[in-house]
Amino acid sequence: MIEVKNLDKFFDGGTRQVLHNISAKFYDGKVNLIIGQSGSGKTVLVKNLVGLFKPENGEILYDGRDITLMNRKELKEIRKEIGMLFQGSALFDSETVMGNVMFPLMMFSDMTPEQQRERAQFCIDRVNLTGSADKYPAELSGGMQKRAAIARAIALNPKYLFCDEPNSGLDPKTSIVIDQLLWDITHEFDITTIINTHDMNSVMGIGENIIFVNKGHLGWVGTKDEIYDQDNEDLNNFVYATDLFRDVRKYRRQHGYTKTKVEY
Amino acid sequence: MFFTKGLEAFGNYCTLMWRSFGVPERWKEFFRRYLNEISKLGIDSIPLILIVSLFIGCLCTILIKLNMQSPLLPRYTVGFSTREIILLEFSSSILCLILSGKIGSNIASEIGTMRVTEQIDALDIMGVNSANYLIMPKILGLVTILPFLVIITMVTAMFGGWAVCYTGILDPDTYIYGIQTDFVEFDVWFALIKSLVFGFVISSISAYYGYTVKGGSVEVGKASTDAVVMSNIMILITDIVLTKLLLM
Ligand SMILES: Nc1ncnc2c1ncn2[C@@H]1O[C@H](COP(=O)(O)OP(=O)(O)O)[C@@H](O)[C@H]1O
Ligand SMILES: [Mg+2]
């Protein structure tokens, strides 16, 4: 479990506060979502969680180990347990899909080259990119790049998987494929997955533990089953921003729903 | 204001260099990248170097001949002066000024693109020291190959000067005699030492500009221009310092 306690993050030499006293828990073997409008501080929160930014105040506990207190060496150790999927995929342009997935194995595992290749092929197969192992990132579609990046992120069997807007720039159908894949690997390999998104379809699809960030403040915590029927005004503005979800609300009220289950 | 900004940038540059030099995570991967950089930055520049050197060699000889029509000067002075120019200044400083346009923008835009597409963040997240992984092979690669490029330049430029003599401006044997007159071996070493320093200057400054890009493709473009301009300025400054230190 990753636990955040009273996190503050400032920018521009301490003049602009982006995160205000955020406390949250991210559970093992679950898909944890950080949701909120663009600019609300989701990416900044995730970058703090993985140690790319250092918070001014607060604790970030990985199963009790506070990464804000770690030195470079300890941080490096814990990073071997972390996989991360970046908004733009961040695949290495000069390497093929196979090269990209083998990279962390080559740098950090004791495997022989054959074992590395075998493990990489397993991950590539797992994300359904079997035929594209020898292609370069520029030759792949957006969804395939995302899947290749997922394969790279899970290559070292991470305990924690972070995803920054995994659906950005993808069409709705491809988005669902990616969401489904993230959901499946989370439960298959018992990973603590933390996804940051503003996509309500993902929220309703895979939101097992939802943390709503509103202008840098913690707004609401709950599950996808609770999100329709809560009385947080900011969250309702976010959830019911589109006609589609307003229609859902109307329908639910007309038919007297209080709880819902969205199944994939 | 301008001064403190510059000082801050210099501090950041030093920190980045400090982070860049260290024991690589995997020696095998380091050598792969190192050889790759030698080929990309060095070997691939050879055609450019050959063309430029050949023409500059020709031009030196022609222009010196034109300007030394005095009966008081012996004819071999043309070869002698051509050699001095090539060994002392052209083969190292001018060559590096020319190469910095190609190599500097290449390094800055490659690393800068990796920065803005979060590839550097991806390396850091994996626990790879991204500065060490990306920058050290480039610096060492360029520093390794540049002295060889300098030697190629010397030979090609002097050959160009000799070849142009056959157009009838000078007796080739007089030219050959000239380039052998009063030869000081240290002049060659001087050029090689300078090239080591310039190799470091070009690659480290360009890497700094690329690594610290913030923003998108526009900023990457700006960083690669800035990298070339700053490399050129620093080459000229270190050139003066080294010439003063080593020759006077
Ligand atoms: N490196 C940075 N330096 C300064 N400000 C930043 C930086 N990164 C993000 N911010 C600011 O933090 C705020 C939140 O940004 P972000 O976390 O990217 O939002 P989002 O929720 O869309 O991911 C924005 O106002 C942004 O300008
Ligand atoms: Mg974001």
Residue-wise pLDDT for B30-48, tens only, equals 999 999 999 999 999 999 9
Per-chain mean pLDDT for chain B: 94
pLDDT for B96-111, tens place per residue?
Answer: 999 999 999 999 999 9
pLDDT for A205-222, tens place per residue?
Answer: 899 999 999 999 999 999
pLDDT in the model for residue A259 = 55
pLDDT in the model for residue A18 = 95
Per-chain mean pLDDT for chain A: 91
Residues A62, A180 within the same domain: yes
Which ligand does the CA of A87 lie closest to? 2
- Residue B219 Cα to chain centre, angstroms: 24
Residues in contact with B37: Cβ distance below 8 Å, sequence separation at least 6, in sequence order: B137, B138, B140, B141, B142
Query: What is the rounded CA–CA span in Å between residue A120 and residue A134?
Result: 12
Its domain, for residue A177, covers: 1-81+159-264
Residues A64, A106 within the same domain: no
Q: Please, are residues A41 and A19 in contact by the beta-carbon 8 Å criterion?
A: yes
pLDDT for B167-198, tens place per residue?
Answer: 988 899 999 999 999 999 999 999 999 999 99
The continuous run of DSSP H or E covering B158 comes out as: helix B130-164
Measured from the CB, is residue A11 less than 6 Å from ligand 1?
yes
CA of B213 to the centre of ligand 2 (A): 19
Q: Helices H, strands E: what count in chain B?
A: 10, 0
Using alpha carbons, select from A201, A193, A211 the residue that is nearest to residue A175: A201
Please report which confidence band the pLDDT of residue A151 belongs to, taking 50, 70 and 90 as the band edges: very high
Please report which confidence band the pLDDT of residue A262 belongs to, taking 50, 70 and 90 as the band edges: very low
Residues A29, A105 within the same domain: no
Q: Please, are residues B210 and B105 in contact by the beta-carbon 8 Å criterion?
A: no
Residues A163, A260 within the same domain: yes
Those of residues 92-121 in B touching chain A at CB distance below 8 A are 113-114, 117-119, 121
Query: What is the rounded CA–CA span in Å between residue B82 and residue B62?
Result: 10
Using alpha carbons, select from B127, B209, B207, B122 the residue that is nearest to residue A88: B122
Average pLDDT (B122-142) is 95
| A131, A157, A183 - which closes a domain | A157
pLDDT in the model for residue A230 = 85
Residues A149, A62 within the same domain: no
Which of B25, B113, B125 lies closest to A84 in CB terms?
Answer: B125
Q: How would you classify the pairing of strands A160-164 and A192-197?
A: parallel
Task: Give the mutation target among A43, A164, A194 for probing the ligand 1 site: most ligand atoms within 8 A of CB.
Answer: A43
CA of A68 to the centre of ligand 2 (A): 22
pLDDT in the model for residue A264 = 43
Q: Where are the domains of chain B?
A: 45-247
Residues in contact with A55: Cβ distance below 8 Å, sequence separation at least 6, in sequence order: A7, A8, A9, A19, A48, A68
Answer yes or no: is pLDDT of A246 > 90. Answer: no
Per-residue exposure over B184-218, b if at least 16 CB sit within 10 Å of its own CB, e if not:
eeebbebbbbbbbbbbbbbbbbbbbbbbbbeeeee
User: Which residues in chain A are closer than 8 Å to B113, comparing Cβ atoms?
Assistant: 93
Please report which confidence band the pLDDT of residue A72 belongs to, taking 50, 70 and 90 as the band edges: confident
Pairwise CB contact (< 8 Å): A76 & B127: yes
Q: Please, are residues A204 and A261 in contact by the beta-carbon 8 Å criterion?
A: no
Neighbours of B163 (CB within 10 A): 15
B236 vs B75 pLDDT, higher one? B236
Residues A238, A149 within the same domain: no
pLDDT in the model for residue A227 = 87
| A157, A175, A196 - which closes a domain | A157
Answer yes or no: is pLDDT of A12 > 70. Answer: yes
Please report which confidence band the pLDDT of residue B124 belongs to, taking 50, 70 and 90 as the band edges: very high
User: Which residues in chain B are closer than 8 Å to A79, comparing Cβ atoms?
Assistant: 125-127
Residues A122, A219 within the same domain: no
Please report which confidence band the pLDDT of residue B71 belongs to, taking 50, 70 and 90 as the band edges: confident
In this prediction the ipTM stands at: 0.87
Residue B119 Cα, gap to closest chain A Cα (Å): 5
Q: What is the DSSP string of A230-262?
A: ---HHHHHHHTTSHHHHHHHHHHHHTT------
pLDDT > 70: percent of chain B: 100
User: Which residues in chain A are closer than 8 Å to B128, comparing Cβ atoms?
Assistant: 107
Residues A14, A60 within the same domain: yes
Residues A174, A150 within the same domain: no
Q: 3-state DSSP call for residue A93?
A: coil
Residues A11, A69 within the same domain: yes
Answer yes or no: is pLDDT of A35 > 60. Answer: yes
Average pLDDT (B191-214) is 97
For residue A32, the domain's CATH number is 3.40.50.300
Q: Count of domains in chain A? A: 2
CA of A19 to the centre of ligand 1 (A): 10
| A104, A130, A157 - which closes a domain | A157
Measured from the CB, is residue A39 less than 6 Å from ligand 1?
yes
Query: What is the rounded CA–CA span in Å between residue A185 and residue A196?
Result: 17
Tokens for A102, please give them.
Answer: 């083998």
pLDDT > 90: percent of chain A: 70
Tokens for B132, please give them.
Answer: 């060490």
